[in-house]
Amino acid sequence: MLHKKVKNKFTKRGVDYPIIDGLRTLPGRYYHSRKIYDEEIEKIFCKFWIYALRAEEIPSVGDYKLVQIEDEHLIIVRNEQNEINAFFNLCRHRGTQLCTEEKGTFSKKTIQCPYHAWTYGLDGKLLAAPLMKEGNGFLKSECRLHQAHVNNWEGFIFISLAHNPEPFEIQMEALIGKFSDWNMASLRIAHHIRYELKCNWKLILQNYQECYHCPGVHPLLSQWTPVQSAQHDYSKGAVIGGFMDLVNERGSMTMDGKAAAPPVCNVSGEDLQRIYYYSLFPNMLLTPHPDFVLFHHIQPLGPGKIINDCYWLFHPDVIENKNAKNGIKSAVQFWDLTNQQDWQVCEQMQIGTKSKRFTRGYYSGREDVLYSLDQELLKALGHTESDLED
């Protein structure tokens, strides 16, 4: 166990909080080791509920989008009952990849293998296997496409590759009912930017959950939300989050600090003056504003590379309103600027932690939640404090 003691105090909203001495960072190998990365894929990304896409991205029957988690490729498709299914992208005949286009529509309402024309329904059932007769162990009913678990939360589609995953409501307990006033299922994607970054996926989650860096890295952000207003209101399991207060009345995170749009759906009261920051371990960051919702989809591509897709969600009425374009643009510009400031320091940290001279650092009192993230990681990997010794 780590030895912890109160070293000094800092004040948040007039309340004294202890700064904990003894909480240390992960060793550098947790950001660079291929062995540890492979463990993370197997024990976290292939077992936890992970974000896949927005339901609006596949609005009609037959619409699909591909999702990749290292060697696992999945087809997320809307079936004829208007349900969303997730199938492993391989034919039950000889394992041929069924689909290669990132997104599209199965216009014939079937999925056909390009090699030997085995054909499947949008429910995964094998419909046709040319020149194959049932018998001698072969039964079409036993050759359904392999399926992953799916859960739709507020229009966000989550999948789990595990055979028997922990119930979504348990892993994501803190989310259930948390942001119902936003009615996020009714929001639509107004803008999307894809970032390709040279850093470990965990550095993005860590960066997102602390504002110790904000005064030096984000001068504009610090104008609209003072660092001392940051509070973490939930830290349990795979969901960790909190909020910061807005300085401007009816303001938001935009280039001029003004709201980009009217309040989202039923947002009211204190939520009109707050920005929420929730990390959904391991691959989603969710940031509800009073007037829009920002979120990040993190896809690891190795120990030191990720794709980070950033989306801005607005109410459809705002998106269709020509007079609202400047507000949306201001929100996009603000967060694109802020994102790039973050990406630069995350990539610099990736380089620095590879040095043989790097040893485990010390978390400040404003970074205690990062320790919680580390503990969630270690728990999932089955690692202990002794495994962290330099």
Q: Chain centroid to CA 324: how far?
A: 27
Q: What pLDDT is stored for residue 281 in this prediction? A: 94
The Cα–Cα gap between 30 and 119 comes to: 43
State whether 42 and 56 are in the same domain: no
**Which among 195, 189, 210 has a CA at the least distance from the CA of 292?**
189
Do 222 and 80 share a structural domain? no
Q: What CATH number does the domain containing 341 carry?
A: 3.90.380.10
Residue 360 corresponds to which amino acid?
R
Q: Are residues 139 and 286 located together in one domain of the fold?
A: no
Residue 390 lies in a domain: no
- 335 vs 312: CA distance, rounded Å: 9
Give 25's pLDDT tier (boundaries 50, 70, 90): very high
Residue 194's pLDDT band (boundaries 50, 70, 90)?
very high
Residue 167, pLDDT above cutoff 60: yes
| Whole-number Å distance between alpha carbons of 238 and 97 | 32
Is the domain of 26 the same as that of 106? no
Q: How far apart are CA 216 and CA 205, in angstroms?
A: 19
Q: For residues 301 and 381, state if they share a domain.
A: yes
332 and 215 share a domain?
yes
In this structure, are 136 and 266 located in the same domain? no
Weakest mean pLDDT among 20-29, 87-96, 280-289: 20-29
Q: Which domain holds residue 300?
A: 5-46+178-385
pLDDT of residue 385: 83
Looking at the structure, do residues 205 and 236 belong to the same domain, yes or no?
Answer: yes
Q: Are 295 and 329 within one domain?
A: yes
How many CB atoms neighbour CB 184 within 10 A?
20
Averaged pLDDT of the chain: 91
pLDDT the model gives residue 327: 97
Q: What is the structure's pLDDT at 5? A: 35
Least confident of 1-5, 138-142, 262-266, 302-306: 1-5
State percent of the chain over pLDDT 70. Answer: 93
CATH number at residue 55: 2.102.10.10
d(CA 201, CA 208): 11
Six-digit token string for 381: 């990997």
Handedness of CA 70, 71, 77, 79 (dihedral sign): negative
pLDDT at 107 over 90: yes
**Rounded CA gap, 315 and 13, in Å?**
33
Average pLDDT over residues 218-243: 84
Does residue 375 lie in a domain region? yes
Going through the chain in order, the beta strands assigned E by DSSP cover 5-12, 15-21, 50-54, 63-69, 72-78, 84-88, 103-105, 110-112, 119-121, 126-128, 147-153, 156-160, 188-197, 231-236, 239-245, 274-280, 284-288, 293-300, 306-314
172 within domain boundaries = no
**What is the model's pLDDT at position 154?**
97
Residue 302 corresponds to which tokens in the numbers above?
A: 């190795």
Number of domains in the chain: 2
Model confidence at 232, pLDDT cuts 50, 70, 90, reads: confident
pLDDT band per the 50, 70, 90 thresholds, residue 210: confident
pLDDT at 233: 74
**pLDDT over 80 at 13, yes or no:** no
Residue 10 has pLDDT above 90, yes or no: no
d(CA 332, CA 312): 7
Query: Do 264 and 251 share a domain, yes or no?
Result: yes
What average pLDDT score do residues 94-114 get? 97
Q: Give pTM, 2 decimals.
A: 0.92
Confidence of residue 181 (pLDDT cuts 50, 70, 90): very high
